[in-house]
Homo-oligomer: A and B are copies of this chain.
């Protein structure tokens, strides 16, 4: 990796960190892009080259999570029931979070606090999740050999899976270490699996 790319990654993380701190300090809405850019000595114009929007910045972790889910899904056996495969993908995300280094863990916790304090941001987060949902619907439809535009069950499977992830992340609203939060998210996955009729997703 060349100097250029390392520098970019450094700037990217610097922007995220500065933004998270400002958001938590003075609120999401009352923090301007100008302030964030100023905090890391970068022009506002450059900010928008790293993140397409302020929302995108606050939800950057979705990009990573989606990647893991899609990769895991591609590796799951073709004949595995789709919801089961999705739950495996979610657990892969948990594992990734669990193994995050000190700084990454810090960001994860800050982000959680941020979403907790700004219900409005949860809306944005869910909206981003809808994007992931569409992509997952394509994949699951292909696995099941159905037309994604016509098969309701496919969409229901994906929607339930995303709901499971979201509930695990948002609730219960209690602070804790990364390990504790991951445990709760795993509980949510178990809960969902227990709640559904065996074979419902075939």
Query: Which residues of A are at the interface with B, using a C-beta cutoff of 8 A?
Result: 119, 122-124, 126-131, 134, 149-153, 155-156, 159-160, 162-164, 166-168, 170-174, 184, 187-188, 191-192, 194-197, 200-201
Contact = CB atoms under 8 A, between A and B. Distances in A.
A95 to B, nearest CB: 20
Secondary structure of the A contact surface, majority rule: helix
Given A134-B119, A197-B195, A156 B150 contact: no
Contact of A123 (B122, B130, B170, B174): B130
A129 B168 CA distance: 18
B156 A191 contact: yes
Task: Output the residue of A159, A168, A197 with the most chain B CB within 10 A.
Answer: A159
State the 10 A-B residue pairs at the shortest beta-carbon distance, nearest first.
A123-B127, A159-B163, A195-B200, A150-B172, A127-B127, A155-B167, A126-B130, A149-B173, A155-B171, A123-B130
A151 B166 CA distance: 14
Contacts of A134: 119
Nearest to A197: B197
Contacts of A170: 155
Contact of A152 (B123, B127, B153, B191): B191
